[in-house]
């Protein structure tokens, strides 16, 4: 079972972005690192100066580096960026928008969780287009994951196992609006919230998070207690999405569960310690509301409260 570190969804300062990936290269037991701007093209210049050094460091550490496309294309410069990225011939490109699928047609590539793949027929179409791996959307229940993996043996299936779940992308920037700015004059206010900004209900209950033009779940998906089922279902990789917490420790918790060094309950306790302010959830995996926690482990419920 592989571990994949998905692309950073938030805007972090260039030096913090670089140092994060250097630490991942040196200390995290992940096999694949997907890198690149996925959410907002205005953020691209924050990573451009450090991108080559980060890729070199990751590859020198034995990580398989993949490049992510944007998840939404609305401008010609964004379309040009997608076209340029699709010409990459030394690393796999992860498509996170349908426009990228057209550009990558006939060439090996992977598919990220921003593209809705809800059944085996869709997975087979993507495989015929050249996709070698698919990270299924986090809202997909376990039964659907198993069906896709079982009936599409020629494509590697990955599940979104840790992180705030990507729910929607908009052409407008609610994050900027929440701070009295417009998308065109945002002044990168999303950098003030390196883990997103909470969205509360009228009664003050947090239920979503904003990250620029993106809407995320408030809760953090944590799929640890099903490790005995994944291989049998045909899942080949677990995706960890970077959050403002110790992602090296997160990756070690998952790795040690996969190798049998610790029990899932112990790993969940570690996640709670590492990321204490955000509740864990696994509802989607069980076909329930995504924010729910369905406890299958003894004494696991209190870890998310």
Reported as a single tens digit per residue, the pLDDT across 213-272 is 999 999 999 998 777 778 888 899 999 999 999 999 999 999 999 999 999 999 999 999
CATH for the 2-304 domain, from 3.40.50, 3.30.420, 3.30.1120, 3.20.20: 3.20.20
> Taking residues 43-63, what's their average pLDDT?
96
- In the DSSP assignment, the letter for residue 8 is P
Please give the residue that has the higher pLDDT: either 148 or 298. Answer: 148
**How confident is the model at residue 303, as a pLDDT?**
44
pLDDT confidence of 305, banded at 50, 70, 90? very low
Nearest by Cα to 64 from 134, 5, 22, 10: 5
pLDDT confidence of 304, banded at 50, 70, 90? very low
Burial of 23 (0-12, 13-18, 19+ CB in 10 A): middle
- In Å, how far are 58, 192, 217, 227 from 232, measured between CA atoms? 30, 43, 28, 9
> Taking residues 273-300, what's their average pLDDT?
86
Distance CA 113, CA 71 (A): 10
Beta bridge partners of 200: 206
Residues in the chain: 305
CA-based R_g, the chain, Å = 18
> Taking residues 98-127, what's their average pLDDT?
96
**How confident is the model at residue 164, as a pLDDT?**
98
Give the predicted TM-score (pTM) of the model: 0.94
Residue 292 · residue 279 · CB < 8 Å: no
**How confident is the model at residue 230, as a pLDDT?**
82
Distance CA 190, CA 36 (A): 17
Average pLDDT, the chain: 93
Q: What pLDDT, in 10s, does the model give residues 196-206?
A: 999 999 999 99
Please give the residue that has the higher pLDDT: either 300 or 22. Answer: 22
Q: What pLDDT, in 10s, does the model give residues 145-176?
A: 999 999 998 899 999 999 999 999 999 999 99
- In Å, how far are 2, 56, 61, 102 from 64, measured between CA atoms? 11, 11, 9, 24
**How confident is the model at residue 167, as a pLDDT?**
95
């Amino acid at each position: 079972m592989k571990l994949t570190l998905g692309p950073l969804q938030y805007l972090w300062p260039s030096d913090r972005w670089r140092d994060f990936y250097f630490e991942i290269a040196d200390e995290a037991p992940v096999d694949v690192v997907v890198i690149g701007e996925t959410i907002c093209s205005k953020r691209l210049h924050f990573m451009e100066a450090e991108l080559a050094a980060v890729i070199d460091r990751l590859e020198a550490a034995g990580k398989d580096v993949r490049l992510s496309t944007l998840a939404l294309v609305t401008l010609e410069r964004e379309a040009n960026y997608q076209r340029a990225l699709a010409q990459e011939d030394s690393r796999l490109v992860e498509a996170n928008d349908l426009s990228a699928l057209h550009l990558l047609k006939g060439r090996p590539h992977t598919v990220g969780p921003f593209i809705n793949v809800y059944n085996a027929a869709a997975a087979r179409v993507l495989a015929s287009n050249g996709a070698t791996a698919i990270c299924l959307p986090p809202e997909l229940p376990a039964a659907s994951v198993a069906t896709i993996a079982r009936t599409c043996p020629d494509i590697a299936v990955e599940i979104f196992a840790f992180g705030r779940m990507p729910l929607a992308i908009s052409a407008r920037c609610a994050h900027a609006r929440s701070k009295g700015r417009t998308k065109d004059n945002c002044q990168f206010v999303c950098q003030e919230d390196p883990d997103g900004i909470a969205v509360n209900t009228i009664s003050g209950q947090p239920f979503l998070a904003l990250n620029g033009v993106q809407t995320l779940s408030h809760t953090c998906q944590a799929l640890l207690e099903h490790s005995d089922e994944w291989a049998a279902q045909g899942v080949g990789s677990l995706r960890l999405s970077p959050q403002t917490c110790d992602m090296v420790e997160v990756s070690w918790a998952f790795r040690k569960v996969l190798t049998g060094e610790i029990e899932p309950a112990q790993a969940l306790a570690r996640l709670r310690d590492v990321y204490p302010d955000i509740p864990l959830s696994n509802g989607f995996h069980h076909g329930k509301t995504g924010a729910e926690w369905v406890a299958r482990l003894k004494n696991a419920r209190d870890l998310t409260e």
